[in-house]
Structure 1
Amino acid sequence: MDASVIYIIIGGAAAAVGIIAGKFIFAKNHQQKLDDAERQAQKIVADAQSNSETLKKEKLLEAKEKFVQLKAEHDREVLDKNRKINDAENRIKQKEQSINQKEGNLEKQLKENEAIKENLNRQIEVVNLKRTELEKHQEEHIRRLEKVAALTAEEAKAQLVESLKQEAHTQALGLQQEIIDEAKQKANKEARKIIIQTIQRTAAEQAIENSITVFNLESDEIKGQIIGREGRNIRAIEAATGVDLIVDDTPEAIILSSFDPLRREIARLSLQRLVSDGRIHPARIEEVVEKTRRQIEEQVMEIGERTVIELGIHGLHKELVRIVGKMRFRSSYGQNLLMHSREVANLCGIMAAELGMNPKLAKRAGLLHDIGKVPDEETELSHALLGMKLAEKYGENPAVVNAIGAHHDEVEMQYVISPIVQACDAISGARPGARREIMQQYLQRIKDLENLALTYQGVEKAYAIQAGRELRVIVEADKVTDGDSDKLSFEIAQKIQTEMTYPGQIKVTVIREKRAVNVAR
């Protein structure tokens, strides 16, 4: 056998022996570990049994202590309840004793009351006897008095009542007159105060309008272009605008004449555009005038919207806004209508606020009170009635409608706001200086108005009030009857209408009163 084979066999045997020896050692170590684990487990079980016994004893002790504690608390509660029950029984016994005592007192008091009642009955019988005797004496006394006075008791009583009634009536009349006089004095004083404060708080702009407008030119050569060949251009301008153009010797100026400020404004702007453009012929004139008219319409609407916004008026119909804008191009006796209406609106708002009323509604009525002066078409109605119809047509408040129609007394005033609008219209429009009338003419007109009324028989005094808008005539009661008062008012109004020149209208009021005066001495 080869030596290498022998070495291999020996090496394999040695390896096998090593493996077997390693397995033996491993098995021995494993058995030892198992024995150690078993001993440790037995020790743990023994410790657990010991701990459980200890824990069991502790829990039993705690349970016993808890039981003892609960038993003690229960005993205390039982003792408290027993004590409360005993207290309640004692209170009940005390109440029973008190009730028994009160019953005894009541029985005693009842017996005493019976005795008192018997005593009172005896006293009442005595009083009744004395009353009967007194009535007999009184009747005898009344018969003696009637015999002496020759009057029965009823007649004397009636006379006394009548005398007291007359005295009370006289005193009541005197007291009533004092109260009325005091109320009038306070009312007049307060009214003057409110009006003065209202006027002082309103700074009004006054714009005096004329019936002509002067159009300035850069040179007189432009006049020829405006006139045109054989005057065709000037005739075309007048036909398109409704305004008279006066071309005279005035240097560098042309006069535009028309009663309607709106037409004059359209003509002025149209001329300004034509002159700036340089093309002046009939076709161009008509085109420019139409364009200017549309522009003015837009401007009118813008003015109306700006006015209502500045016054704080909301919800106004667009057509009424347009009419308000047209007021800017209207004047009344030289006073610009829009400025007048704005002033009246502000006055109405202030006065309504002073009187505790709705200032916004008052402003609305004040602004719209003269809308009848700018109608779109001619009508025979007065401006107050026409304005009332327009306001009603466009859904205005009934108070506003009535204030517009009644501000010249053409319809009856139905709302408190109506006299406010009338007063503010008089403050704004009829005071000296607001309209084109110098102070001397104003004073002379007022004096002539009063003197005219004094020429009639029976007239004692005459006063022009509201800046000449109303004439109050006081007549003598013994010379003028009630029927004559109506006739006198009509005659004075007719004479004023035929002999005098005045703005607006004048109301004539004839006052006749009978005064009875007595003096106590």
Structure 2
Amino acid sequence: MFVHNSILAQTNLTPGLIGVMIGLAIGAAVALLLARLLGTQTLGQARKQADDLLEKARSDAENLKKKLELDARDEMASKRDAFEKEVEGMRTEIKEQERRVTKREDNLDRKLDTLTTKEKYLDDLDAKIKDREAKVDEREGELDDLIEQNKLLLEEARKEQKQTLLRLSNLSEDDARKEALKIVEHESQHEAAQIIQRNMEKADEESKDNALKITLQAIQRYASEHTADSTVSAIAIPSDDMKGRVIGREGRNIRAFEKATGVDVIVDDTPGVVVVSCFDPVRRAIAAEALHKLLEDGRIHPTRIEEIVEQIRKEIGQRIIKFGRDACIEANIQGLHPKISEMVGRLHYRMSYGQNILRHSIETAYLCQVIANELGLDGDLARRAGFLHDIGKAMDHDIEGGHPAIGMEFCKKHGEKEAVLNAIGGHHNDIPSTTPYTPIVMAADAISGARPGARRETLEKYVRRLEQLEGIARNIKGVREAYAIQAGREVRVVVDPESVDDANCMYVARDIAKQVSEEMTFPGEIKVTVLREMRTIEYAR
């Protein structure tokens, strides 16, 4: 109180103000106390929450730890299994390699044993060979000595024989040498003839076998029709009255027809037939077809004749182009000039001994291809050469010269290859062969023309060919008689046995064959058979 009063005295404060201040102090103390109580309560709650969080974190950490340990254990187990599998695979592979190595070692041991045995055998064989070489050397020395001795003895015997012959024959040394050379020459000729005969027989046998094989294969692979078309030159007339209509008043119809077609129409006493004659097969075909159409139409007069002939000429011209195109397609010929194709179509109307030349050309083309393929040559080029080899026959009625030269010149103008040109110009030996395709075309041409039923020839030409064949054979020295047989495909020659021996028969046959090839024209081949017969007759009485 005393203090309180002293303070009041010192501060000059009123009692009311002091009470307020005291109240404020007490309120502040109470507020401070309340604040402390609240802070203590909040701190407890915070500590409790922290403890809960800490406990939860410890629990989560423990769970995570356990999970990680489990995962680590699982991963370690899987890796351990994979490692064990890998180790097991490596162990298996090592065992397989060990087995292979063991097998190879066994094989090497067996081979080593075999090599050891062979080496021993070779050593023994080498020793035997050395022994034989030593014996051979010894024998060679003995043979050399014997040869030298024989040479000396032979030389002495020759000198004695020479002196004896000279003494007996009273000939000089030069004369004796000439006589000996004559004997040796005669014997050499005889031996040479025998060698030639053996070689020619062997070569002929081998060549015939090969040629027969190739020819048979070619014919088998291309089997064409054996019937041949015939040239139409006789036109059937319904009645004899129609002949008068064909001739016309004072012959005006027949003259107009001949002028329009370029053919000769022969109307004779033969009943029901009018003959159309012309060297050009195309014009003859136009005339025959035009005459058929006129006879069917019945209206025969110069104007109608000109109309029909012109119409038929256009139709046959179109047919020729079609025939050529179809033939090129059938023979598989590509890149042919249109002019050449047209000329090929004209061959449809051309015949040779009754054989259609267009069909013959297609057949020859296929045979050429087969033969060329068998010989390892260009089959396409050979087929082209065979297809065009007779193209000159489509123009030989309009151009002077042989059909090989005409065809070669025509194809040369239109860009054909040299091999094809040589085959066209040389398939009848008119020019030398420069390529192997020319002989192939010659062979195929002969096969196509010589097969049975392909061609026919007149009796007059047939008899003349047989007479020429026999005449050539009889003109050879030493031939006594000759006979053509098998329709002229073989000639049998009988020689004089006193002037021709067995060895020289080969020369006679070769000379006859060579001369026949040079002087005659024939399809296929002609066989020359030389016969030599020696008869010795004696009578017992």
**Shorter-chain TM-score tier:** 0.5 to 0.7
> 2: distance between equivalents of 1:466 and 1:308?
37
| Alignment partner of 2:472 out of 427, 444, 452 | 452
| Alignment partner of 1:229 out of 228, 231, 249 | 249
Structure 1 position 260 matched with structure 2 position 265: no
Structure 1 position 193 matched with structure 2 position 198: no
Cα pair distance change 1:477/1:416, threshold 3 Å: farther
Q: Do the aligned residues in 1 keep the contact of 2:390 with 2:424 (CA within 8 Å)?
A: yes
| Alignment partner of 2:59 out of 48, 51, 54 | 54
Shift of 1:384: 1.0
Q: How does 1:144-159 map to 2 (within 5 A)?
A: none
Shift of 1:432: 7.0
Shift of 1:67: 9.5
Structure 1 position 397 matched with structure 2 position 417: yes
> 2: distance between equivalents of 1:398 and 1:465?
40
Q: How does 1:380-419 map to 2 (within 5 A)?
A: 380-419=400-439
Cα pair distance change 1:52/1:440, threshold 3 Å: farther
> 1: distance between equivalents of 2:243 and 2:456?
32
Shift of 1:377: 7.0
> 1: distance between equivalents of 2:360 and 2:420?
17
Residue equivalent to 2:230: 209
> 1: distance between equivalents of 2:290 and 2:390?
29
Q: Do the aligned residues in 1 keep the contact of 2:449 with 2:523 (CA within 8 Å)?
A: no
Cα pair distance change 1:45/1:413, threshold 3 Å: farther
Shift of 1:266: 0.8
Shift of 1:331: 1.9
Q: Do the aligned residues in 1 keep the contact of 2:228 with 2:455 (CA within 8 Å)?
A: no
Residue equivalent to 1:343: 363
Cα pair distance change 1:284/1:415, threshold 3 Å: same
Shift of 1:400: 2.1
Residue equivalent to 2:259: 239
TM-score computed with the length of structure 1 as normaliser: 0.55
Partner SS for 1:412: coil
Partner SS for 1:315: coil
The residue type paired with residue 202 of structure 1 is A
Cα pair distance change 1:503/1:378, threshold 3 Å: farther
Q: How does 1:298-447 map to 2 (within 5 A)?
A: 298-375=318-395, 378-430=398-450, 434-437=454-457, 442=462, 445-446=465-466
> 1: distance between equivalents of 2:216 and 2:242?
53
CA offsets 1:49-106 (integer angstroms, 9 cap, x no match): 76555324433566688899999xxxxxxxxxxxxxxxxxxxxxxxxxxxxxxxxxxx
Shift of 1:382: 1.9
> 1: distance between equivalents of 2:271 and 2:381?
51
The residue type paired with residue 327 of structure 2 is T
Give percent identity, aligned residues only.
Answer: 43
Residue equivalent to 2:80: none
Q: Do the aligned residues in 1 keep the contact of 2:405 with 2:425 (CA within 8 Å)?
A: yes
Q: Do the aligned residues in 1 keep the contact of 2:396 with 2:402 (CA within 8 Å)?
A: no
| Alignment partner of 1:218 out of 232, 235, 238 | 238
> 2: distance between equivalents of 1:304 and 1:310?
10
Q: Do the aligned residues in 2 keep the contact of 1:362 with 1:417 (CA within 8 Å)?
A: yes
> 2: distance between equivalents of 1:70 and 1:334?
102
Q: Do the aligned residues in 1 keep the contact of 2:228 with 2:453 (CA within 8 Å)?
A: no
Q: Which has the higher contact order (CA 8 A, sep 6+)?
A: 2
The range that moved more, 229-238 or 391-400, is: 391-400
> 2: distance between equivalents of 1:264 and 1:180?
50
Q: Do the aligned residues in 2 keep the contact of 1:370 with 1:384 (CA within 8 Å)?
A: yes
Structure 1 position 283 matched with structure 2 position 283: no
> 1: distance between equivalents of 2:461 and 2:401?
30
CA offsets 1:409-458 (integer angstroms, 9 cap, x no match): 11111222211211222233356754332689647723532333422557
> 2: distance between equivalents of 1:177 and 1:227?
69
Residue equivalent to 2:112: none
TM-score computed with the length of structure 2 as normaliser: 0.53
Q: Do the aligned residues in 2 keep the contact of 1:208 with 1:436 (CA within 8 Å)?
A: no
Partner SS for 1:254: strand
> 1: distance between equivalents of 2:198 and 2:476?
34
The residue type paired with residue 410 of structure 1 is D
Q: Do the aligned residues in 2 keep the contact of 1:431 with 1:467 (CA within 8 Å)?
A: no
The residue type paired with residue 209 of structure 1 is S
Q: Do the aligned residues in 1 keep the contact of 2:449 with 2:524 (CA within 8 Å)?
A: no
Q: How does 1:14-29 map to 2 (within 5 A)?
A: none
> 1: distance between equivalents of 2:215 and 2:436?
16
Q: Do the aligned residues in 2 keep the contact of 1:402 with 1:415 (CA within 8 Å)?
A: yes
Shift of 1:240: 0.4
Cα pair distance change 1:398/1:443, threshold 3 Å: same
> 1: distance between equivalents of 2:447 and 2:73?
105
Q: Which runs of 5+ in 1 are unaligned?
A: 1-42, 72-140, 152-173, 479-484, 510-521
> 1: distance between equivalents of 2:484 and 2:434?
25
Shift of 1:46: 10
> 1: distance between equivalents of 2:406 and 2:353?
19
Moved over 4 A (4+): 43-53, 60-71, 174-184, 430-433, 438-441, 456-473, 475-478, 502-507
The range that moved more, 317-326 or 200-209, is: 200-209
Cα pair distance change 1:65/1:243, threshold 3 Å: closer
